[in-house]
A and B are shown apart, each in its own frame.
Chain A
Amino acid sequence: MNIKNISIAIVAILTIAFTSCKKDETINTAEKGTFTLEFENQINGVPLVLNTQNYTNATGESFNISTFKYYVSNIKLTKTDGSIYAIPESYILMDAAKPSSLLNNLKDIPAGDYTKIAFTIGVDKERNLAGAQTGALDPALGMFWTWNSGYIFVKFEGTSPQSTATDKSLTFHIGGIVDPNNTIRTFSTDFSTGNPLRIRADKNPQVHFVVNAGSLFKGKQNISFAQLNFTMGGANSVIVADNYVNGLFEFEHIHN
């Protein structure tokens, strides 16, 4: 092998190495990908089971749950370079009675590495006022008030021996978009920079959140069912929303 051939060989090897390297590191931003938002319902660390399971709140009162539904909307993802992608029409309704609703495929996301997610717990004000909706916002889904029109952001129903309501019921319908009883809250969390959400055309990463229904009743103001067991908007809903704003969602991990 003469010098010339060696040079060609080296150049060839370098070219191949460089090209393959480039393939690994560079993201084709024109590509779009999908990811799955997974929500796992719990009550203060134990799985949420409807109807049959008894739980205890922060004030020591026993309760069970018959309904647990909540909206997540206006999902925004932040890339490592700080740019934000707002997922259009991202309105999703989770229903503990429908396990399939807890796995949500979000499509057509520009490829990239994302290190932060933010979303509204509930439905934004504009959409609350925008007239007849469909899909996840269909008022037939039972998350819409008709007397003071607007969406119920979080709906929790159950019973507690301590409840002073008829049939010992617990009715917590959280919603409202007008001050001072505005209950729109947003949640955001950072992902590990070492393991960002990697959106690629050929992958379907999974972002896993734990959702703690117990957070409605503890934190900023612990709720005793003997004192508060019914709210449909108003000041009492604000108490609950202020409780869950920091505790309802907890980022768990990403499967890339």
Chain B
Amino acid sequence: MRHLKIYLILIASMGMLYACSKTEIVKPQTEEIRFVVPTNFPDAVYKFDGNILTNNGFALGKKLFYDARLSADKSISCGSCHQQFAGFANLDHKVSHGVNNCLGKRNAPVLFNLAWQREFFWDGGAKNLEIVPINAITDVCEMGSDLNTIVTFLNNTAPYPSLFKDAFGSATVNSQNLLKALTQFTAAMVSANSKYDKVMRKETVFTTEEQQGYQLFKDKCANCHTEPLFTNLNYINNGLDLNSVDEGRKTITDLVSDKGKFRVPTLRNIELSSPYMHDGRFNTLEKVLEHYNAGVQANENLDVSLSKNSQLGIPLSNIQKQQITSFLKTLTDDEFIKNKIFSEN
């Protein structure tokens, strides 16, 4: 009898646990914005410490992200160069196009899974996600404005003061809350529901060609494009030029050994985010793979993985290139790309 009691209690508590987990699954459908580390991801770097993620903060960040009035000539918003359908990169643009038709010098990076990055930009110049937007806001070839102008504009433009009050408790806009709101929006962008992720979670399987591509990828590419973020977050020279015009990481560290090194970009959503490389020089994945097959230049800082056995690059047959491309397309996360939560309208 005593044993039976214990069993009953156990069954009852299991029932309660089940009910609990049920509510958690239902919750996101009420559109409460949450940040969840995907099961196959490492711990995030940005943890919303001191910037608690709320619906109001996120909604404000999104409005700011898409507001072109923050730029000098009111023509460029963050979303101009970071388009959702291109993985929040800039489709068909080699380099950023800023105010007054000014051309920047580098390709706009994709914006997602930013909460896992310690450093930002192609050269790692920004070291905290919260301060990243200042560069685009102030760059003369991007938004061409400054923080003071924007803070004044927001303080004097409805409905911003009330939106800031809803998000941060004060209707007085300052640069800190402006940047924190933008961060709530960008840090909450998580892309982890591609076919690749579903295969990893054993919800589906690769086709034969994708599986062959995955094997090749692990052998030949994963050293730099490490799973599950598909970047090791390092800076390497991948032999684009004998002499790099853009000094890349050296601009930040002042080290000759960093000349021509750039961030290893994530390959998630790579199918959508052409053109490729820091200067957008390749407009197709085929050209990128051909670069690794036969285009690698013997730069003094060339990564060792690209000059193995006194051979430059990574030899790839046409069939192998096709297989790898098939695998890369499994990294496209349609759910993220089409998620209205992140859309302008």
The interface of chain A, by Cβ under 8 A from chain B, is: 128-134, 138-140, 144, 146-150, 178, 180-181, 233-235
- For B176, what are the chain A residues with a Cβ–Cβ distance below 8 Å? 132-134, 138
Check B179–A132 contact: CB distance below 8 A: yes
> Which of chain B's residues has its CB closest to A235's CB?
B254
One digit per residue, 1 when the CB lies within 8 angstroms of any chain A CB and 0 when it does not, for chain B 109-131 equals: 00000000000000001111111
* Known contacts A131-B128, A132-B176: A139-B147 contact under CB 8 Å: yes
CB distance from B246 to the nearest CB of A (A): 13
In contact, B134 and A144 (Cβ under 8 angstroms): yes
Q: Which residues in B have their C-beta under 8 angstroms from that of A129?
A: 127-128
Interface flags for B294-334 (1: CB within 8 Å of A; 0: not) read 00000000000000000000000000000000000000000
Instruction: Kindly state the separation between the CA atoms of A149 and B50 in the bound complex, as whole angstroms.
Output: 20
Q: Which residue of A lies closest to B125 (CB)?
A: A148
Q: A134-B175, A149-B125, A149-B126 are in contact. Are A139 and B131 (CB under 8 A)?
A: yes
Cβ-defined contact, A146 with B139, below 8 A: yes
1/0 per residue, CB under 8 A from A, across B220-256: the answer is 0000000000000000000000000000000111100
Knowing A132-B130, A134-B176, the reply to whether A140 touches B148 (Cβ < 8 A) is: yes
Task: Decide: A132 and B127 in contact? CB cutoff 8 A.
Answer: no
A178 touches B253 (CB 8 A): yes
Question: Contacts A131-B131, A132-B176 hold; do A147 and B146 have CB atoms under 8 A apart?
Answer: no
Contacts of B134 in A (CB 8 A): 139, 144, 146, 149
The docked-state distance in angstroms from the alpha carbon of A153 to that of B174 is 22
Task: Determine if A139 and B175 form an interchain contact, defined as CB atoms under 8 angstroms apart.
Answer: yes
Report whether A132 and B183 are in contact in the complex, using a CB–CB cutoff of 8 Å. Answer: yes
Q: How far is the CA of A94 from the CA of B135 in the complex (A)?
A: 24
Closest to B126 in A: A149
B129 touches A131 (CB 8 A): yes
User: Which residues of A sit under 8 angstroms from B139, Cβ to Cβ?
Assistant: 146
CB <8 Å contact, B130 and A131: yes
A180 to B147, CA, bound (A): 31
User: In the complex, what's the smallest C-beta–C-beta distance from A197 to chain B, in angstroms?
Assistant: 33
Residue B138 lies at the interface, judged by CB distance under 8 Å to chain A: yes
Bound-state CA distance A144–B131 (Å) is 10
Q: Does B180 have its Cβ within 8 Å of any Cβ on chain A?
A: yes
Q: Please list 5 pairs of residues, one from A and one from B, whose beta carbons are closer than 8 Å in the complex, sorted by A's number.
A: A131-B179, A138-B147, A146-B135, A149-B127, A149-B135
Interfacial chain B residues near A134, Cβ < 8 Å:
174-176
Question: Which listed residue, B125, B131, B252, touches A132 by the CB 8 Å rule?
Answer: B131
List which B149-206 residues lie within 8 A (CB) of chain A: 151, 174-176, 179-180, 183
CB pair B179 A147 closer than 8 Å: no
A5, B151: Cα distance in complex, Å: 78
A148 CA / B131 CA spacing, docked (Å):
11
Name the A residues within 8 Å of B180 (CB-CB). 132
A148 partner residues in chain B, CB cutoff 8 A: 125, 251-252
Give Cα A16 to B77, complex, Å. 76
- A131-B50, A132-B131, A178-B253 are contacts. A140–B138 as well, Cβ < 8 Å? no
How many angstroms between the C-alpha atoms of A180 and B256 in the bound complex? 13
Contacts of A149 on B, CB cut-off 8 Å? 125-128, 131, 134-135
Question: Which residues of chain B are within 8 angstroms of A132 by Cβ–Cβ distance?
Answer: 128, 130-131, 175-176, 179-180, 183
Interface centre among B50, B128, B180, B183 (most CB of A within 10 A): B128
Query: For the complex, what is the distance from the CA of A128 to the CA of B128, rounded to whole Å?
Result: 9
Q: Give, as a whole number of angstroms, the nearest-CB distance from A195 to chain B.
A: 40
Q: Point out the residues of chain A lying under 8 angstroms from B183, CB to CB.
A: 131-132
CA distance A235 to B179 in the complex (A): 31
Chain B nearest CB, measured from A228 CB (Å): 15
Q: How far is the CB of A4 from chain B (nearest CB, A)?
A: 71
| Alpha-carbon distance A229/B175, docked complex (angstroms) | 31
A64 to B224, CA, bound (A): 51
> Could you tell me the distance in whole angstroms from the C-beta of A127 to the nearest C-beta in chain B?
11
* B147: chain A residues within 8 A (beta carbon): 138-140
Q: Are A140 and B146 also in contact (CB < 8 A) when A129-B127, A146-B138, A149-B125 are?
A: yes
- Set of chain A residues within 8 Å of B135, measured between Cβ atoms: 146-147, 149
Residue of B nearest to A149 (CB): B126
Nearest CB on B from A254, distance (A): 35
Alpha-carbon separation in the docked complex, A149 to B251 (Å): 12
Point out the residues of chain B lying under 8 angstroms from A233, CB to CB.
254
